[in-house]
């Protein structure tokens, strides 16, 4: 009886996959079942050999035969798959329906959304998400712009940043950490390095702003900077999501996002479930709160942002109190970012010409500093060039 039931279950399960090429036989007609596709035969045999698998097949058969209403077998299998994921009791593994997968693929990837500004001598960079492909490059451009503008310290704001591409996060870390392993990936007890730092790193003092919605890749970035004592963290304890998911495509267009590995900070430290504790904890809320996972969107008024205000005060204690006004003339920064060189009043290079394209024209973005020598028209020119540089 059990063998017969298993055989019938196999036939029912194969129907949605098109394994049966012919119509079912007429009632009371004795026929041999069609041969099974070899791809399914082994899997179904193993499924029927386990108590849980056999119960699953029994349920499919009984629902199809005894349920009062008509049953869509494809929908039944999708629901069963979603139930398997729910049975894992894991908040980060999930079943993604075909319609949701299709809608996500049709939508363009989000913009990088990186915002930059100068706060006196401090360069501010806000990163709302690491989802977009261009986040790492956008942060790099922001760093170079601040270096060219004479920044003496930097603030990286990842409040409300719930993560995204680890590659984008590593590109950001690469601009701040000069040596060492940037992090590890652990799978079933085996840990391997994910990347090594590039010697081309920015040495300026750095503060990272975090909150309880800072998660995943954003936590890896902030945690690695803290682990190497490269940055001071200001804000509140972070979310504690130190795991990564693998997306598995199913034949019907759905996906299973399955937790498959854990991220570890330098020193093999796990943050999953515990998060990062800031060096300076500031719990006071600001206007434009990011605790719900909406990343920081542009600069806010410093007076209305207690976390940003605390970070600026901390940097003032580090590099001095003279942070009142931005430097209007770019300072050359050899080896990192665009180097802006001074010129003579007649625009003849004094030491080295500004960067130029192959045709001899200055490259876009290269800015010449005003001349030191006085002339009749120099005051107006100096003011215009200083505005452009600022």
Give Cβ neighbours of residue 323 (< 8 Å, ≥ 6 apart): 119, 120, 121, 122, 152, 312, 315, 316
Backbone angles phi, psi at 199, to 5 degrees: -60, -20
Q: How confident is the model at residue 156 (pLDDT cuts 50, 70, 90)?
A: very high
Q: Name the more confident of 237 and 351.
A: 237
The pLDDT tens digits of the residues spanning 293-311 come to 555 655 556 778 899 999 9
> What's the token pair of residue 270?
């796990």
Write down the pLDDT at residue 16: 45
Q: Name the more confident of 62 and 227.
A: 227
3-class secondary structure, 91: coil
Write down the pLDDT at residue 293: 54
Q: Name the more confident of 179 and 27.
A: 179
Q: How confident is the model at residue 198 (pLDDT cuts 50, 70, 90)?
A: confident
Q: Are strands 153-157 and 181-187 parallel, antiparallel or unpaired?
A: unpaired
Write down the pLDDT at residue 31: 53
Task: Please say whether the beta carbons of 242 and 271 come within 8 A.
Answer: yes
pLDDT at 62 over 60: yes
Task: Please say whether the beta carbons of 329 and 195 come within 8 A.
Answer: no
Domains in the chain, CATH or no CATH each: 2-71 (no CATH), 115-243+261-319 (3.90.226.10), 340-390 (no CATH)
Give the residue numbers annotated as catalytic, written as ranges: 216, 241
Write down the pLDDT at residue 212: 94
Write down the pLDDT at residue 336: 35
The alpha carbon of residue 250 and the mean position of all alpha carbons in its chain are separated, in whole angstroms, by 24
Kindly tell me the burial class for residue 186, based on how many C-beta atoms sit within 10 Å of its own C-beta (0-12, 13-18, 19 or more): middle
Average pLDDT value for residue range 204-221: 95
Task: Please say whether the beta carbons of 124 and 117 come within 8 A.
Answer: yes
Mean pLDDT (the chain) is 74
Q: How far is residue 88's CA from residue 10's CA, in Å, rounded to a whole number?
A: 25
pLDDT at 15 over 50: no
pLDDT at 223 over 90: yes
């Amino acid at each position: 009886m059990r063998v017969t039931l298993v055989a019938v279950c196999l036939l029912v399960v194969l129907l949605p996959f098109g394994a049966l090429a012919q119509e079912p036989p007429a009632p009371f007609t004795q026929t041999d079942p069609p041969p099974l596709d070899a791809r399914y035969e082994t899997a179904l045999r193993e499924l029927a050999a386990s108590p849980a698998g056999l119960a699953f097949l029994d349920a499919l058969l009984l629902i199809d035969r005894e349920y009062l209403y008509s049953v869509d077998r494809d929908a039944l299998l999708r629901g069963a798959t979603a139930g398997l994921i729910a049975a894992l009791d894991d908040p980060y593994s999930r079943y993604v329906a075909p319609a949701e997968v299709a809608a996500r693929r049709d939508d363009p990837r989000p913009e990088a959304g990186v915002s930059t500004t100068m706060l006196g001598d401090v360069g501010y960079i806000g990163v709302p998400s690491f989802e977009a492909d261009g986040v790492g490059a956008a942060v790099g451009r922001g760093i170079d712009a601040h270096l060219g503008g004479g920044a003496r310290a930097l603030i990286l704001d990842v409040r409300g940043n719930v993560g995204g591409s680890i590659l984008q996060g590593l590109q950001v870390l690469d601009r701040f950490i000069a040596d060492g392993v940037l992090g590890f990936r652990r799978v079933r007890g085996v840990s391997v390095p994910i990347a090594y730092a590039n010697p081309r790193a920015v040495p300026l003092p750095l503060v990272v702003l975090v909150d309880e919605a800072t998660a995943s890749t954003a936590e890896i970035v902030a945690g690695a900077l803290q682990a190497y004592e490269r940055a001071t963290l200001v804000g509140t304890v972070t979310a504690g999501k130190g795991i990564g998911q693998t997306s598995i495509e199913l034949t019907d267009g759905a996906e299973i996002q399955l937790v498959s590995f854990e991220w570890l900070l330098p020193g093999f430290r796990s943050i999953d479930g515990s998060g990062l504790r800031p060096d300076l904890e500031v719990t006071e809320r600001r206007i434009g709160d990011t605790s719900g996972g909406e990343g920081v969107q542009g600069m806010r008024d410093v007076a209305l942002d207690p976390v940003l205000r605390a970070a600026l005060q901390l940097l003032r204690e580090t590099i001095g109190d003279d942070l009142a006004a931005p430097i209007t003339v770019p300072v050359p920064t050899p080896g990192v970012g665009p180097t802006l060189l001074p010129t003579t009043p007649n625009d003849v290079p004094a030491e080295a010409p500004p960067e130029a394209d192959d045709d001899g024209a200055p490259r876009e973005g290269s800015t010449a500093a005003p001349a030191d020598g006085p002339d009749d028209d120099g005051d107006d020119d100096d003011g215009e060039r200083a505005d452009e540089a600022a």
